[in-house]
Amino acid sequence: MSRVYNFSAGPAVLPEEVLKEAADEMLDYRGTGMSVMEMSHRSKAYDTIIKEAEADLRELMNIPDNYKVLFLQGGASQQFAMIPMNLMKNRVADYIVTGQWAKKAYQEACIYGKANKIASSEDQTFSYIPDCSDLPISEDADYVYICENNTIYGTKFKTLPNTKGKPLVADVSSCFLSEPVDVTKYGVIYGGVQKNIGPAGVVIVIIREDLITEDVLPGTPTMLKYKIHADNDSLYNTPPAYGIYICGKVFKWLKKQGGLEAMKAYNEKKAAILYDYLDQSKLFKGTVRKEDRSLMNVPFVTGNEELDAKFVKEAKAAGFENLKGHRTVGGMRASIYNAMPMEGVEKLVEFMKKFEEENA
């Protein structure tokens, strides 16, 4: 068996320990004589799995009791619709557009009401986070929306926007559990898990209880109501059971690493290895304004498309996978999520140095 260093933006690298444990339990989950994949979601064994997953996530993120944790399906993209359907009581919401994912969410919200683009960084290919300290928040806005870490462009909000009292809704798909967050600052925190937590197919929604109501837009399907999932502890219908089981294992792994403070320290150290090299390289350069750099997604270019392609090809041959940048940006992108070991980034930088020497 040989594993590569996988720099994919998502689905992405998972902790090897978790994969091994899942492999060990594949045929017989703890004496049940079956795989978790084959198990009723109403069984005693599964009840323990989902309850422990929620309890561990609550502990990791220090989630207050007045927030519900929902394990849903449909990916982060389904939340682009679910959020306005459930939250747009006045049919008004303010969107801060810092990349493709925020833009898609904004466009989806336009279907349901008056979505206002109150700030954007599209003028400079989304390479920075706009100043959000005093934005023209609409008086009747039901919420203010951000994508906290922009997976494609490699930017991250270091300071949350001043929402002037409106609930903040944040897509944290690509920075989920990468550092501590103050949950009380948000109305809704949500993310697809396939970036930093688990297998595709699960989206986690952490939502303040007062935002979960029967008062949703007319025509909202039952399956797209937060209330139905909250009232049924994410077991209204069959949940993405195996995916949640893997997420649960990742939560335990994170606790073992020392929790989110420890992950933040590790991630900062890990990202610095790559950014420090980029800052002094004569060949490669980062594409993002320094103060807005993501700890998770690091885009970089040589400035020459042919050389970029050569780099991606040679890197792949050397065991560094998925370094090609997003199709809308070009260049390269290294996604260095929680489960990417320090060693992976050190070796990548060694490889980049060698490539730089050879192509000077």
For the annotated catalytic residues, the residue numbers are 101, 171, 195
Q: Give Cα 328 to chain centroid, integer Å.
A: 19
Two tokens, residue 250: 């990742």
Does 173 bind ligand PLP (CB under 6 A)? Our answer is yes
Tell whether residue 101 is a contact of ligand PLP (CB under 6 A).
yes
Q: How far is the CA of 91 from the CAs of 109, 115, 140, in angstroms?
A: 9, 8, 9
**DSSP reduced 3-state for 177:** coil
Phi, psi of 147 (to 5 degrees): -105, 110
Q: How far is the CB of 61 from ligand PLP (least distance, A)?
A: 18
Let me know: does 334 contact 312? Beta carbons within 8 Å: no
Stretch that binds ligand PLP, among 74-82, 209-217, 284-292, 327-335 (CB under 6 A): 74-82
> With respect to ligand PLP, which residue has the nearer C-beta, 175 or 260?
175
What is the spatial distance between Cα 11 and Cα 307, in angstroms, rounded to a whole number?
26
Helix (H) or strand (E) holding 332: strand 332-335
Closest of 266, 251, 148 to residue 198, by C-alpha: 251
The span of 53-61, 75-83, 253-261, 316-324 binding ligand PLP (CB under 6 A) equals 75-83
The smaller minimum CB distance to ligand PLP, of residues 39 and 181, is found at 181
192 lies in the binding site for ligand PLP (CB under 6 A): yes
Beta strands 188-192; 168-171: pairing state: parallel
Give which of 234, 210, 232, 219 is closest to 87, Cα–Cα: 210
Q: Which of 50, 88, 147, 340 binds ligand PLP (CB under 6 A)?
A: 147
Complex with ligand PLP: residue 85 or 349, whichever CB lies closer: 85
Compute the least distance from the CB of residue 281 to ligand PLP, in Å: 26
Counting contacts by CB under 6 A, is residue 151 touching ligand PLP?
yes
Residues 223-262 vs ligand PLP: string with x where CB under 6 A?
A: ----------------------------------------
- Tell me how far, at minimum, the Cβ of 203 lies from ligand PLP, in Å: 6
Instruction: Between 12 and 53, name the residue whose CB sits nearer to ligand PLP.
Output: 12
Q: What is the edge-to-edge ordering of all strands in the sheet holding 114-120? A: 67-72, 203-208, 188-192, 168-171, 144-147, 92-97, 114-120
Q: Is 101 or 242 the residue whose CB approaches ligand PLP more closely?
A: 101
| Packing angle of the helix pair 259-280, 241-256 (nearest 10 deg) | 80
Based on the shown chain and the rule CB under 6 A, indicate whether residue 166 belongs to the binding site for ligand PLP: no
| CB of 74 vs ligand PLP, minimal distance in Å | 7
For ligand PLP, the binding residue among 77, 162, 220, 281 (CB under 6 A) is 77
What phi, psi does 10 have (nearest 5°)? 145, 140
> Which residue has the closest beta carbon to ligand PLP?
75
335 binds ligand PLP (CB under 6 A): no
- What is the rounded distance in angstroms from the CA atom of residue 354 to the CA atom of residue 348? 10
The residues binding ligand PLP (CB under 6 A) are: 10, 75-77, 101, 147, 151, 171, 173-174, 192, 195
